Amino acid sequence: MENNNSRKKEHIRHALHDKVEYGSAGFEKILLKHKSLPEIDFDEIDLNVNFLGKQLKFPIIIEAITGGFDEGGKINEILSEIASEFGIGFMVGSQRPMIENPALSETYKISGHPPVIISNIGAVQLNYGITYENIANIVRYIKADAIAFHLNPLQECFQPAGNRNFKNLKKKINEISSKLRIAGIKVIVKEVGTGLNYDDVKDLDADCLDVAGFGGTNWAIIEGKRADKQAQNFYNWGIPTVESIRNIISLKDKRNLEIIASGGIRNGIDAAKCFALGADVVGMALPFLKEIYKDDKGEISENINKERAKQNLQKFLNKFIEELKPALFLTGSKNIKEINEKYSMND
């Protein structure tokens, strides 16, 4: 069995030092509808949202990155403090390592009080011995509001010793989700970079879907490099983020679901386009990770300086928000709900 500790470290190194983004998420196809007379006051734009029954100051989730080794613990500490400061959501990396080795639990510890905390486990682990009790314990440990079951079949294909038995997972997800929701734990089902499609998720017992579409971090690249496998023919595999959102957005009303848009979102205009498509919040991972490691010259450092990392993250988020608000203003939208459907397709 591959060592979780070394795998997590290698994921971080490849994400930081290799070109791990490939293709387009599709945002260039979305044209937001400009208004010369917005008929609103810019200063009255409100970015507060209700998500999973909690209030976020801004409609942003720090997506799953890491955990399970000392440096991962530092990353989670910094990110949870930033999430607390900005009033945004925070999702930890896969907690499988702490299930297999409880001594690693500290690397998932939350610092501060983010308004929404999300646990995380690979759905395929339900076929490899992970139980309801295991999941309840990891949720309890970080005092999470929700659990994300991530779907990562492409990653498992190329990961050394990957877990590739995805048989009967829909039934198992629904069975365990029912118990979790009865216990008051919200359930998110998410992809990790190749997008969700309607038929796969339409009958899932969940509160929220996270599209995590193609166009952002590419796991065929990362795992292909780690395993020294020729994975280039799969670099273009997946459903682009825009297409994935459009595929599943009807479930928002049909099933009373909330939607996280993620996958290649890099600025506030990308986010505005996601909200125009109907998403409730947007999520990002790689941009946050890179800001943690940037030095004073903007180059990737080998070490984490906590004070500098937090300053970098503050600048990134402030810039992101400063881009999102004009996009809302220029479409005559006082909040993210009002920008819904204010777009056309540039096919």
pLDDT at 37 over 70: yes
Q: Please state, in angstroms and rounded to a whole number, the distance separating the CA atoms of residues 32 and 279.
A: 15
Chain segment 272-295, per-residue pLDDT in tens: 999 999 999 999 999 999 999 999
Instruction: Provide the 8-state DSSP code for 15.
Output: H
Please state whether beta strands 117-122 and 146-151 pair in parallel, antiparallel, or not at all (unpaired).
Answer: parallel
First to last CA, the chain: 46
Q: Can you give the CATH number for the domain in which 118 is found? A: 3.20.20.70
At 2, the pLDDT band (50, 70, 90 cuts) reads low
Residue 33 tokens read as: 């509808």
Chain segment 184-242, per-residue pLDDT in tens: 999 999 999 999 999 999 999 999 999 999 999 999 999 999 988 789 999 999 999 99
pLDDT for 227 equals 87
- How large is the average pLDDT for residues 146-156? 98
pLDDT at 1 over 70: no
Question: For the whole model, what pTM was predicted?
Answer: 0.98
Could you tell me the residue range of the domain that residue 93 belongs to?
4-345
Domain count, the chain: 1
Q: Which residues contact 210 (CB under 8 A, 6 or more apart)?
A: 63, 148, 188, 189, 190, 191, 196, 259, 260, 262, 283
Chain segment 69-118, per-residue pLDDT in tens: 999 999 999 999 999 999 999 999 999 999 999 999 999 999 999 999 99
Residue 39 tokens read as: 């008929």
- How large is the average pLDDT for residues 46-58? 98
**Helix, strand counts (H, E) of the chain:** 13, 12
CA dihedral over 130, 136, 137, 140, signed as positive or negative: positive
At 344, the pLDDT band (50, 70, 90 cuts) reads very high
pLDDT exceeding 90 applies to what percent of the chain?
Answer: 96
